[in-house]
């Protein structure tokens, strides 16, 4: 069990969790909190770099799953989620992180939101807890 205090710039939240990953992203008045628990990761196929050249879940499959997930996060007219990168992340085992950035046609200035998608090696796409940003 991990015990820590979370602060998002607005709220303090004491947390007791078995999470190995917990990330929060804000977009369009909503808070997307992604959590991966140790039990989830433990049940996934393992990747031994010394024995296997490729991870159990291919990059192409991870991107396809991430693209399908990102289509569920609606944008305003004229905006879309553009794929930026795919990375292998090791946290008590390997998982994929696909990262997308909100984009529009033409000149963009300022900071535009990013949104990740986490995919475990068994193909599970981590679904975020979505709450109103005001909470």
What pTM did the predictor assign?
A: 0.80
Rounded CA-CA distance 34/50 in Å is 30
* Position 55 pLDDT exceeds 60: yes
pLDDT band at 5 (very low <50, low <70, confident <90, very high): very low
Structure tokens at 128: 């975020």
Give the pLDDT confidence score for residue 106 in this predicted structure.
64
* Position 42 pLDDT exceeds 50: yes
Asked whether 22 and 31 are in contact (CB, 8 A), the reply is: no
> What is the arithmetic mean of pLDDT over 4-33?
69
Q: Is 115 exposed, middle or buried (0-12, 13-18, 19+ CB in 10 A)?
A: buried
Asked whether 88 and 96 are in contact (CB, 8 A), the reply is: yes
* Position 85 pLDDT exceeds 70: yes
* Position 1 pLDDT exceeds 50: no
Percentage of residues in the chain with pLDDT exceeding 90?
A: 53
Q: Name residue 33's beta-bridge partners.
A: 24, 129
DSSP state of 125: B
Picking from 21, 38, 28, the residue whose alpha carbon sits closest to that of residue 132 is: 28
Domain boundaries, given as residue ranges, for the chain: 2-132
Average pLDDT, the chain: 84
Q: Which residue has the higher pLDDT, 128 or 14?
A: 128
pLDDT band at 2 (very low <50, low <70, confident <90, very high): very low
Residue 93 CB neighbours (<10 A) = 19
Give the pLDDT confidence score for residue 57 in this predicted structure.
97
Rounded CA-CA distance 48/94 in Å is 10
């Amino acid at each position: 069990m991990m015990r820590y205090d979370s602060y998002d710039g607005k709220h303090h939240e004491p947390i007791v969790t078995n999470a190995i990953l917990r990330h929060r992203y804000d977009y369009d008045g909503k808070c997307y909190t992604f959590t991966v628990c140790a039990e989830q990761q433990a049940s996934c196929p393992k990747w031994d770099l010394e024995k296997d050249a490729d991870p159990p879940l291919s990059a192409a499959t991870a991107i396809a799953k991430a693209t399908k997930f990102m289509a569920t996060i609606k944008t305003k007219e004229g905006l879309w989620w553009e794929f930026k990168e795919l990375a292998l992340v090791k946290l008590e085992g390997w998982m994929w992180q696909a990262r997308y950035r909100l984009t529009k046609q033409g000149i963009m200035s300022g900071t535009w939101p990013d949104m990740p998608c986490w995919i475990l090696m068994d193909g599970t796409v981590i679904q975020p807890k979505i709450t109103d940003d005001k909470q």
